[in-house]
Amino acid sequence: MKSRTGAFILAMVGLVGTIGCGSGSGSGSANQAAAASPAAGSPAGTTAATTLAAATSNNTSASDSFAGTSNGNMQPGNVSKVSFRDLLYSGASTKIYVHVMPWWGESSHINIGYDSADPAEVKLQINDMISRGIDGLVLDWYGPQSTHENNALIAIMNEAQQHPGFEFAACEDAGALTGAPDVTAKLIADVNYIYSTFEQSSNYMRKNGQPVIFLFGEETLRSTGRRSLPAYRATPFSFGAIAGVSPSHSRRAALAGSGSPAIRLTLD
């Protein structure tokens, strides 16, 4: 990550924490909208800028029903609304993204009070992100066969399209390829699905005009065999990213990163 020349910052945000935490029916969203009013007993001619309740209650999209855990996951609370962009140097055009894990609401994970695939929840999360100066999100994705995570990305796309300029992208997790008899063919099928389902959105993340797909963990699948992914070079994107992917079956893609030239990856 480069402070002045990098294309963006990829902020890693724990979803039990502050941003994109979701809330379902028990959100702190009502507290976010608490209007300031004159405090009782205030000196004549003065108006309170806020209230104690508004300044101390949950003002995130996290669920009020989540009480925290003994291993350090905090109960939702009041988090500064100072924009992340205000923390950058003057005139910075740096993009700020968050990485979203969409497994909440599945029986295999603890209940934190919301479902990552719930469109109402996604709306709360994206509105909260925008209010904090975040430009978009990258969702950890396990392929179209993982219905819950795929539905979460569909909900994100639909909500992002209500906010011009807010971007989203898919991160192909190695879990999408684990157990596939031909992981190269599976990756190509997944990329084609992302192209036809998500990349047609004007809100899909692009670099130099080309759609971006992030990768996470694929290096663990590489080998010299035809049925594994070839080695690829990590890029200044946190996970590595495939840019300029089209639905062609040439089995080629371009790896590109911030500040680096395109890197060709031959999948066959």
Kindly report, residue by residue over 126-181, the tens digit of the pLDDT.
999 999 999 999 999 999 999 999 999 999 999 999 999 999 999 999 889 888 88
- pLDDT band at residue 26 under the 50/70/90 scheme: very low
- For residue 117, tell me if it sits in a domain: yes
- For residue 143, tell me if it sits in a domain: yes
- pLDDT band at residue 15 under the 50/70/90 scheme: very low
Q: Is the pLDDT of residue 7 over 70?
A: no
What local confidence, expressed as pLDDT, does residue 200 receive? 94
What local confidence, expressed as pLDDT, does residue 44 receive? 67
- For residue 145, tell me if it sits in a domain: yes
Amino acid at 159: E
- For residue 63, tell me if it sits in a domain: yes
What local confidence, expressed as pLDDT, does residue 122 receive? 97
- For residue 64, tell me if it sits in a domain: yes
Cβ–Cβ under 8 Å, residues 139 and 125: no
Range from 11-15, 94-98, 203-207, 221-225 carrying the lowest mean pLDDT: 11-15
- Domain span holding position 152: 8-25+53-230
Phi, psi of 225 (to 5 degrees): -80, 155
- For residue 260, tell me if it sits in a domain: no
> Cα 170–172–173 angle (5° rounding)?
130
Q: Is the pLDDT of residue 37 over 70?
A: no
Q: How many CA atoms lie within 13 A of 218 on its CB side?
A: 28
The residue with greater pLDDT, 107 or 260, is 107
- For residue 37, tell me if it sits in a domain: no
Residue with tokens 């924490």: 17
What is the spatial distance between Cα 139 and Cα 169, in angstroms, rounded to a whole number? 6
Kindly tell me the burial class for residue 143, based on how many C-beta atoms sit within 10 Å of its own C-beta (0-12, 13-18, 19 or more): buried
Give mean pLDDT, residues 5-34. 43
For residue 244, is it left (φ>0), alpha (ψ between -120 and 50) or beta?
left
Taking all residues of the chain, what is their mean pLDDT, rounded to a whole number?
74
The residue with greater pLDDT, 260 or 81, is 81
What is the spatial distance between Cα 246 and Cα 253, in angstroms, rounded to a whole number? 8
What local confidence, expressed as pLDDT, does residue 24 receive? 45
What local confidence, expressed as pLDDT, does residue 249 receive? 30
Q: How many domains does the chain have?
A: 1
Cβ–Cβ under 8 Å, residues 171 and 215: yes
- What's the pTM value of the predicted model, to 2 decimals? 0.70
What local confidence, expressed as pLDDT, does residue 43 receive? 62
What confidence tens digit (pLDDT) does each residue in 40-56 have?
A: 555 667 788 888 888 88
What local confidence, expressed as pLDDT, does residue 42 receive? 56
What local confidence, expressed as pLDDT, does residue 55 receive? 85
- For residue 137, tell me if it sits in a domain: yes
